[in-house]
Amino acid sequence: MTIATNLPDRPFTTQQATLLGVSEKRLAELTRAREIRRVLRGVYVPTGIPDNVKTRATAAALVISPFAVLCDRSAAWLHGVDTFAYQELEILPPLETFVLRGLSRIRRDGVAGGRRDLAARDIVDVHGVRTTTPLRTALDLGCKLRRRDALAALDGFMRLHGLTHEVLRAELPRYFRRRGVIQLRSLIPVADPSSESPGESWTRMAIIDAGLPIPELQFEIVVDGRIIYRLDLAYPRHKVCVEYDGREFHESLARRAADERRRDWLRRHGWHVIVITKADFDSDSIQAWTSEIRLALF
């Protein structure tokens, strides 16, 4: 049980909390106090419980049917690849699930259901929750999501689950004539496991779509045989680097100061530093900073 309440030390539903005498109003208070956190619609977990695959699977098992298979962005979430938009982190979307044809569709609050045809090799058990495999999930999202998010998903699955370009390409015949396959086919060659965050993937996608050369990822600055800095995206020959700054306003002043010192060092040593934030992905902003890259390169 948690210290402040008689809630369990594992994921639990709103209904389970009510049975233990904890109202929805009290759950909201505990959430604001950061004693618990919401992991899914109607599912909470004590703050001290780590956010890992097992915790996510336990939470998902509380709200989906035993006949359901987790898919798309929800499957990615379970596999550790988050593809949710920033605003969705505040109001979590329904779990995306499906049942195999011949079974009844899911109708439950917080769960979006449908029917699909999949091979047995497309489904895996993750701590008791049936979900599409990392490979199948990556390919589905490569077709379904908008380009920058699709690339981020492919990058994430390559980084965390060891998918390769060869493995991804080998599955393309199965997607013949499927909606989104043209996008998927174009993204596989530029997907890269070196990308360390969705923001870095979005930045690279904008650079590619602007017709610019693909930058090196995680380029290391070495001084006296020691790595002193690592750059998100870089054109070393031209000494141009692009950094995605995903910091939130509440992050420490010490980290902000360290970032500024690093960028100042780079500029003093001849680097042209371009910093991108999550606010820089509207069409006008993309045009502005990709033009800055082009001028710096050419």
Is 132:114 a contact under the CB 8 Å cutoff? no
215-232: per-residue pLDDT in tens?
Answer: 999 999 999 999 999 999
Min mean pLDDT across 53-67, 89-103, 176-190 is at: 89-103
Tell me the percentage of the chain whose pLDDT exceeds 70. Answer: 88
Residue of 52, 44, 60, 55 whose CA lies nearest to 112:
60
What is the per-residue pLDDT across 19-74, written as a single tens digit (0 to 9) for each?
Answer: 999 999 999 999 999 999 988 888 999 999 988 888 888 888 888 877 889 999 98
Q: Alpha-carbon distance 71 to 74, whole Å?
A: 6
Average of per-residue pLDDT across 188-202: 97
* pLDDT for residue 250: 47
Is pLDDT at 297 greater than 50 in this prediction? yes
Q: Which domains, ranges and CATH numbers included, belong to the chain?
A: 1-47 (no CATH), 56-190 (no CATH), 198-297 (3.40.960.10)
Closest CA to 169 of 215, 138, 210: 138
Query: CA gyration radius for the chain?
Result: 22
Contacts of 283 (CB under 8 A, 6+ apart): none
Q: What is the pLDDT of residue 201?
A: 97
Cα separation, 272 vs 241, in Å, equals 6
